[in-house]
Structures are given as structure tokens and as C-alpha cells.
Chain A
Amino acid sequence: MTHFFFTLTLGLYGCATAAYLACLWRTSPSLTKWATRLLATGCIAHILSTIHMASRAKHLPLTNMQESLSFFSLMIVAAFLISERRYKVTTLGSFVTPVALLMLAVSSALHGEVRQLSPILQSNWFWIHALLAFISYAAFTIAFGVAVIYLIQRYFLKTKHFGALFQKLPPLDTLDEISYRCFAIGFPLLTVAIISGAIWSEKAMGSYWTWDPKQTWSLVTWIIYAVLLHGRLTIGWRGKRAAILSIIGFAVLLISFFGMKHSISW
């Protein structure tokens, strides 16, 4: 059953991604509508698949790379669907859905053996930590997509290229607002995730902070987004440098995410 929903999700995400990418080249309201429908259906299948997985394992499916990637992907899709609904930014899908699809594809390629839950993961602090971390990651992924579009759109504006793509991409102001929203939501969640992670670390391993690669990279991620949000709130920092930093932040986030395999807890 899990497998069925999982495959269905993968197929739907694939079609949705193709549709969103096609939206960059073709202007068609029905194509846009279908892209959203495919993705939303995929998202429902993904939720069902996740619930099924969770009910079988009796815990949230966040305990290994395969599960985590799938959950990360689900959070990204959900976050995008919310932003798309709110800001009417179809073209953001062309940049975000491929990321979600790629993660799900990698997840499906990994073999996920059902194994006994490691005793150190049996702590509520862990679940709080992991859940919040993934929601914040999803917010930062959206911010990453927005930053990429921002740089493209800014390039068009500065070099005065007003082609078809320029016409399709959202206004800079909208991008700026979405990105600010993402930081405003993502950063506090990441902060709580890191704190709860530290508490869990203390409970499971007797130390709040061990400077293992996972923790270190998480801290670097946190610092980057702290700088971004602080700059934004104090001097109104935005634009090219903010966009580049947001992209760097996402890259570091990915390192810390994939780096967790090397962490002692895994």
C-alpha cells in the first residue's frame, strides 16, 4: 500500500514538474491549472503514503535518509502549494517542484528496510526537533526558489531584456515579500528545532552540544539565516546580496541535511 501511494506520488510529481516547466515556455491558463491540480493530487497521495508508513512503523517516518527525503519533499510541496495559492506565483513551481521531485526520486532509489527504532530516537524532543526542522527546511527551500527567480528577474531588469520569460516571472516586490515571509516562518522554527535538538542530544547522549558535523553545519545554517533576517529587519536588507546569501544558506542547509548520516545518532 505504501509502495502504491509512493509510486503514485512520484508519477504525479513527475507530471506536475513537467507541466510547471512547460509553463515557462507556454502561456496557457489551463496548463497552469493542470499543473497545480497534478501537484495537489500528488501531495494528497504523498500524505496518504506518509500516514501509511507512519502507522506501519508506529512513528513519524523521519528516522532514515529514505524517509527523511520523502518527508522533506512533502513539506516543500505543501509549502509551495500554500505560497502559490496566496501569491499567485505559478512560475515559482517551475523552480521548486524539480527540487521536490529530485528528493523523492532519490528517496525511492534508497532501500528502506524496516528496522527497529534506535533507542536514542525514542524521545519526544527528537520528534519535535525533526518535525520543526523539516518545516523550516521547506520554508528555506521556497526562499531558495524565490531567490533564484529574483536573480533572474533582476538580471532581466538591469540588462533590459524584456522577453517572454520576463513577462511570466512575478514582480520583484512579490518575490521579496515571499522570501521575507519564508525567513520569518523558517528562522524561528529552525531556532526551536536546534534547541530541541540540543535538549534531545543531552537526554540521549548526555551532552547538549558535541560539535559533530551535523550540529556544526546546522549552526552555520542558523547563522546565515540569522544574518539575513537581522539585516532585513534592521536596515531593510534585500536585493541581490540577500538573494545570493539565501542561496548559500540553502546550500549549507543541504550539506547539514545530507551530512546527518555521518552524525553519531544515525
Chain B
Amino acid sequence: MNIIVIGLSHKTATVEIRERVAFSPNLIEKPLHDLIALDDIIEGVIISTCNRVEIYATTRDIAGGIARVKRFLADHHHIPLETLEPHLYCHHSEAAIRHVFRVASSLDSMVVGEPQILGQIKTSYGYAAEYKSSGIILNRFLHKAFSVAKRVRTETKIASSAVSVAFAAVELAKKVLGDLSDKTVMLVGAGEMCELAAKHFLNSGAKGVMVTNRTFERAERLAEEFGGEAVRFEELFDHLHRADIVLSSTGAPHIIIGPKDVEEVVKRRRFKPMFFIDIAVPRDIDQRVDDVESAYLFTVDDLQEIVQANLAQRGLEAQKAEEIVDKEIGQFFKWLSSLEVTPTIVALRNRFDEIRRTELEKSCANWKDLSPDTEKRLEALTAAIMNKLLHAPTTALKKAGQGGRVDLYVDALRQLFELEAATEEKEELDLEDE
């Protein structure tokens, strides 16, 4: 069984492309089912964040699997494959494992070491687990990725300094608004990144927070957490003029704030500058808002520039992290290879045979009057019993090997009969762990 990774990220695609292939968390069930319905795609997980869209899948046929997933991505979003293809990267086997471990450990992030990505992958994986599109391999794989990320975080200083997209947003806001102490933040929607950015703004002295959300209760809860004010989503434009900083990250598939709205709002504010950060993919704020006088719009991509400066100093820590990742790849790959059918059958036979021989030898040693002839017969008899016993599972396993979720059988067998390599220590399985 092979793990394949197909995706695109801020390194290979602009936000325009990324938002076109993004998956909305509310509508993730269908694509997940469509994904595992593809020929020879056995398990699948879809990761969709503002900086990357990735599909993790297992397949027996690497080239075919990759091609089908690519086609699936293009068809699902109605983009010609030729347009999408140049932005996609594909990994399989060890490279795929390395890639996912690095992504989860935030080594591939726009801001190396930023902590949000792990949470985002956990959420995305949560959907896959809920809709049962992930199976034994990807479950194990992602839990392994989470534990690698945890190791990287605790054993290196990669995330110790507070450099992140959120922090970059604060720095940029200061360049427009100057002192933040009399400035108000408006949160539109409630993404993790948005909340984090809001916290950064408050830490930097921002005066207050307003929160709006499609579900008012959510807004109220968040407002309470920040000691701010909840605003009904329908009344957004009645309150927007009071905000100096607008952080938007709704899951809406369409534009929420357009240039006309902002023109009105800016007029009401007597052209006092407004600072917009659009973290949502697809975007919430029309790009033309940036053309409005006194309105300054920045997307996630823009924040990268600010962040570049901080990357260099993290190089050394990242190197350590890569070493951890390297070690963990070896371990996981060993487990993955153990899930192959043939070695499992061989291991199972060896295990049975070993038991049979030990028992036989023990017995023969006790029966002193045993003739060599009887010994031969006993040998033949036990071998026949063993073969008969193993016949059905072996056939079933071989048959399962032609398709379906053979890894389930293989893994179960390995655990039931204590076959080597499958007994690696259990990873903690709870997602709420962080």
C-alpha cells in the first residue's frame, strides 16, 4: 500500500488559484466520499487551509492514483487540469510521509514554526475520520504526523518566538494606523487564525473588539472571550465604520465586503484609514476595496513579505526539526511496509510453524518410546492441521489483496498473532490533546 500526496500551497500557487481549489468545511462530506469512490483510492483525507489544499490518499497504483486524484481536484472545482497541473506537487511513499510530517511540524509553512497549521490539519483530519474516508493507514499516518509535530515543537525552539502571520498583520497595521491604543478591531467570522490575530492586536494595545458571525451565539461567545461586543451579521455595515482594523475569515463562498460598502463606511469615518486583513480563502473582501481611498486591504499572501525577514533566524532550529522528521519517517515507513500481504502471510505461516515445532519437539521429548515412524506421522499431521487452519485466512487475505481494505486484515492479523513490526507502541489517539 502506498501513501500519495497531491496538493498545492503558497509556495506553488497564488491566492487566486488556492481559493479556487479550496474545500469548504461545511461541504466536505461529498468530496471526501467522491475521493474514496475513485478507482483504487482506498483512503482519503482532504486538507484545506488558506495556504494549502492537499489530498492524502492510499493506493496500490501510484501513477494511476496520482493521476486520478489530480483529475478529481480539477473536476471537482471545474478547473481545466492543464491550468491546475503546473501548481500541483505530488509525492508518494517516503517523500509523501516526509512532506506531511514537515507540513504538520510547520516546516513548510509560510511562517516556519507558526502553530496554526497543526490545528488546521487536525480539523481537516477530523472530518475525514467523521465521514470515514480515512482508514487504518491514514489514521495511523496522521496521528504519527501529530506526534512528530509535537516532538518538533517541544524539542526545538522553532515556534518559541512569536512570529506568525497574525503577528505580521499587527506589524503591518501599525504602519498604517500608527499607535493602536485607540483602535478597534472587528472580527468578521471566526477562524482560528482570525482569533489569534485578534489576540495579537489586543496584546499590542488595541482598544476593543467587535465580533460578528452568521451564528450570533458564536459571535456572542467570542465577544465575551475578548471582552468585546457582538454584532449581528445583518448589521455588519451599521457598525463597520467604528472599526479601524477588520479581520475577515468567514467560510462564505462569496464576497462579503465590497468596494461600494467600504466607500460608504470610509465616508462615515471621515476618511480615517481602515486596515483590512482577509484571511479567508475564498476571499471575503473584494480586491477592489484596496482601491478605495483610506482603505488598505491585505491578503494572506501580502503578509508573507513582512514575514520573510524572520525566516532566516529560524533556519538553525528548522534544521534540528528536519532531523527529527527524518528519524520518524524511518519508523513509520517500516510499519507501512509491514502491511503488505505477502510478507504478512509469510510471517503468519512462520509464526504458526514456530508454535507447531516448539510444541511438537516438547511433546516428542516427553514421549520416550516414540518410534521415528510415529514421529514422522505426527509431524505430517500437525503440518496438515496447520495448513488447513491457515488455508482460509490466507485465501481471504490474498483475495482482499486484490482490492478493498486489505490493510485492516493485515493490521488485525499482525496484532492478533503478535507478528513483528505491527507491535510498535500505540500513538495517543485523542484529537483534543493539544
Residues of A near any B CB (own CB < 8 A): 153, 157-158, 160-162, 166, 170-174, 176-177, 235-241
A158 B290 Cβ-Cβ under 8 A: yes
Q: Is the CB of A239 within 8 A of B293?
A: yes
Once bound together, how far apart are the Cα atoms of A157 and B174, in whole Å?
Answer: 12
Q: Is the CB of B296 within 8 A of A157?
A: yes
Task: Knowing A172-B273, A238-B271 are in contact, say whether A160-B305 is a contact too (CB < 8 A).
Answer: yes
State which of B269, B271, B294, B305 has its C-beta within 8 Å of the C-beta of A162. Answer: B305
CB neighbours (8 Å) of A171 from chain B are 174-178
Q: Is B30 an interface residue (CB 8 A)?
A: no
Q: Interface 1/0s, chain B 260-295, versus A by CB < 8 A?
A: 000000010111110000000000000000100110
B179 contacts which chain A residues (CB < 8 A)?
173
CB proximity of A163 to chain B, nearest CB, Å: 9
Contacts of B176 in A (CB 8 A): 157, 171-173
Which residue from B174, B175, B271 sits with its C-beta under 8 Å from A235? B271
- Which chain B residues (153-199) contact chain A, with CB distance < 8 Å? 172, 174-179
B168: nearest chain-A partner, CB-CB: A162
Q: Which of chain A's residues have a CB closer than 8 A to the CB of B296? A: 157-158
B221-249 CB mask vs A (1 if < 8 Å, else 0) is 00000000000000000000000000000
| Contact status A235-B293, CB under 8 Å | no
- Taking A173-B176, A237-B271 as known contacts, 11 extra A-B pairs with beta carbons closer than 8 A to each other, sorted by chain A number, are A157-B176, A160-B302, A162-B172, A172-B175, A172-B176, A173-B177, A173-B273, A177-B178, A235-B267, A238-B271, A239-B271
Residues of A within 8 A of B172 (CB): 162
Q: How many Å from the CB of A236 to the closest CB on chain B?
A: 2
Check B271–A174 contact: CB distance below 8 A.
no
List B contacts of A240 (CB < 8 A): 293
Interface residues on B, range: 20 to 34
Per the bound structure, the CA–CA distance linking A235 and B273 in Å amounts to: 13
Nearest residue in A to B296 (C-beta to C-beta)? A157
List the A side residues contacting B306 at CB < 8 Å. Answer: 162
Q: In the bound complex, how far is the Cα of B267 from the Cα of A240, in angstroms?
A: 15
Interface centre among A170, A235, A239 (most CB of B within 10 A): A239
Whole-angstrom distance between the Cβ of B134 and the nearest chain A Cβ: 38
- Give chain B interface residues in 289-319, CB to chain A under 8 Å: 290, 293-294, 296, 298, 302, 305-306
Q: Is the CB of B270 within 8 A of A235?
A: yes
**Distance between Cα atoms of A162 and B305 in the complex (Å):** 6
Q: Is the CB of B270 within 8 A of A236?
A: yes
- The reply to whether A166 and B271 form a contact with Cβ atoms under 8 Å apart is no
Chain B, residue nearest A163 (CB): B305
A158→B296 CA distance, assembly (Å): 7
24 A-B pairs within 8 Å (CB atoms) are namely A157-B175, A160-B305, A162-B172, A162-B302, A162-B305, A166-B175, A171-B174, A171-B176, A171-B177, A171-B178, A172-B175, A173-B179, A174-B178, A177-B178, A235-B267, A235-B270, A236-B269, A236-B270, A236-B272, A237-B271, A238-B271, A238-B272, A239-B271, A239-B293
**Closest B residue to A171 using CB positions:** B178
Distance of A177 Cα from B269 Cα, bound (Å): 16
- How far is it, in angstroms, between the C-alpha of A158 and the C-alpha of B294 when the chains are bound? 10
Closest to A166 in B: B175
In whole Å, how far is A26's beta carbon from the nearest beta carbon of chain B? 16
With a CB–CB cut-off of 8 A, which chain B residues contact A239?
271, 273, 293-294
Cα A171 to Cα B296 in complex, Å, equals: 13
In the bound complex, how far is the Cα of B306 from the Cα of A160, in angstroms? 10
Chain B hits for A157, CB < 8 A: 175-176, 296
Q: When chains A and B are docked, how far (Å) is the Cα of A161 from the Cα of B302?
A: 9
The digit string for B10-42, where 1 denotes a CB below 8 A from any CB of A, is 000000000000000000000000000000000
What chain A residues lie within 8 Å of B302 (beta carbons)?
160, 162
A169: nearest chain-B partner, CB-CB: B175
- Cα A218 to Cα B193 in complex, Å, equals 55
Bound CA span A158–B293, Å:
10
Q: In the complex, what residues of B have CB within 8 A of residue A177's CB?
A: 178
Most buried by B among A236, A237, A240: A236
Give the distance in Å from the alpha carbon of A172 to the alpha carbon of B294 in the complex.
10
What's the Cα separation between A150 and B333 when bound, in Å? 57
Kindly list chain A residues whose C-beta atoms are within 8 Å of the C-beta of B294: 238-239
Q: Is the CB of B293 within 8 A of A160?
A: no
Question: What residues of chain B lie closer than 8 Å to A236, measured between beta carbons?
Answer: 269-272
Residues on B with C-beta less than 8 A from A235 are 267, 270-271
A-B CB proximity, top 10 nearest: A236-B270, A173-B178, A171-B178, A162-B305, A236-B271, A239-B293, A160-B302, A174-B178, A172-B176, A173-B177
